[in-house]
Amino acid sequence: MLTRLKAKSEGKLAKQICRVVLDHFEKQYSKELGDAWNTVRDILISPSCWQYAILLNRFNYSFELEKDLHLKGYHTLFQGSLPYYPKSMRCYLSRTPDRMPSERHQIGNLKKYYLLNAASLLPVLALELRDGEKVLDLCAAPGGKSIALLQCAYPGYLHCNEHDSLRLRWLRQTLESFIPQPLINVIKVSQLDGREMGDAQPEMFDKVLVDAPCSNDRSWLFSSDSQKATWRISQRRNLPILQLELLRSAIKALRPGGLLVYSTCTLSKAENQDVISEILNSYTNIMSVDIKEMARTCSQDFTFAPTGQECGLLVIPDKGKAWGPMYVAKLKKSWTT
């Protein structure tokens, strides 16, 4: 098995770094992150250093698998006491860049675990889902965060939306692979343009997750088509416009008193802090919720960008903590307009 893992990781290394993207990131992120960018860049361009967390599926729990992970030296994520951390969520990680093989999708058989970037659990935990709540995952594919939400609580209603048809198929398959039939009945999957959701379902949800389309720094660095990469970079300035439109729609769909979490997997200030600042400046009934305590509690597992994150957290890849990029901001809709 170790040989297979080694071969896989060497295969990943063979992926060509896209120079166009790296040069573009170099200019932007050396300004935005300062000295921290050097370490971040070294991790991002070295897939052999990447780490994968193992989220156990409570709907097909395997005591043997958990025992095996302990024996292999894996430890549970978030060993500190987070303000919200449901006992039903079990996530393991190794301090080394070990990768378990993915399980195959088999109709009728639920998978035992989901491989993910551990930082992607932070937006899920920030949402503080409780049993019976109505929750919207506005940009839900490939489905990892929806799966994680269901490890935390039993929502009264979970609406998973994905506009892109290919990604929608992926989302449906993920849900089928992890969620038992009775629970599938409280999940609605739709293919609406997320920008229209607020008008379609105004003030319907207690909690909303907007894991927005963004400059996916990890995958963009390995674009095999340099023409496509050049086009992506030229279009990049339009992403904050889309992100703002999605957030405005999500705010409409959120009931007063409800919570909204915004997340991306990019380091870009324009798509993170600037988007949230724009929202806070244009709404009188939307407030930022402080999640700095989460950073303090998680500091043994994650490295956070030290500055420039007034209203959120930015996980940056680091040696031995190769998680992220992941930006998380939490907002609350007040009763007054």
Tell me how many domains the chain contains.
Answer: 1
The three-class DSSP label of residue 268 is coil
Give the pLDDT of residue 12: 46
Give the pLDDT of residue 4: 41
Q: Which residues of the chain have pLDDT under 70?
A: 1-14, 79-80, 307-309, 337
What whole-number distance in Å separates Cα of residue 279 and Cα of residue 195?
A: 15
**265 given a catalytic annotation:** yes
Of 160, 265, 298, 311, which one is the catalytic site residue? 265
Q: What is the pTM of this model?
A: 0.93
Give yes or no for a contact between 203 and 254, defined as CB atoms under 8 angstroms apart.
Answer: yes
Give the pLDDT of residue 5: 41
Phi, psi of 237 (to 5 degrees): -65, -15
Asked whether residue 241 is domain-assigned, the answer is: yes
Asked whether residue 65 is domain-assigned, the answer is: no
Q: How far is CA 70 from CA 89, 99, 194, 199, in A?
A: 16, 15, 41, 48
Tell me the binding residues.
Answer: 139-145, 162, 193, 211
Give the pLDDT of residue 185: 86
Burial of 18 (0-12, 13-18, 19+ CB in 10 A): buried
Asked whether residue 253 is domain-assigned, the answer is: yes
Rg of the chain over Cα atoms, rounded to whole angstroms, equals 19
Asked whether residue 13 is domain-assigned, the answer is: no
Asked whether residue 28 is domain-assigned, the answer is: yes
Give the pLDDT of residue 80: 61
What's the pLDDT tens digit per position in 129-183? 999 999 999 999 999 999 999 999 999 999 999 999 999 999 999 999 999 988 9
The three-class DSSP label of residue 255 is strand
DSSP for residue 80: S
Q: How many helices, marked H, and strands, marked E, lie in the chain? A: 14, 12
CATH of the domain at 320: 3.40.50.150
Give yes or no for a contact between 17 and 221, defined as CB atoms under 8 angstroms apart.
Answer: yes
Asked whether residue 198 is domain-assigned, the answer is: yes
- By residue range, what is the domain housing residue 220? 19-50+119-333
Q: In what order do the strands lie in the sheet with 75-76?
A: 75-76, 91-93, 53-56, 113-116
| Cα dihedral 235, 311, 135, 336 sign | negative
Tell me the binding residues for S-adenosyl-L-methionine.
Answer: 139-145, 162, 193, 211
Asked whether residue 79 is domain-assigned, the answer is: no
Give the pLDDT of residue 71: 93
Give the pLDDT of residue 79: 62
Asked whether residue 247 is domain-assigned, the answer is: yes
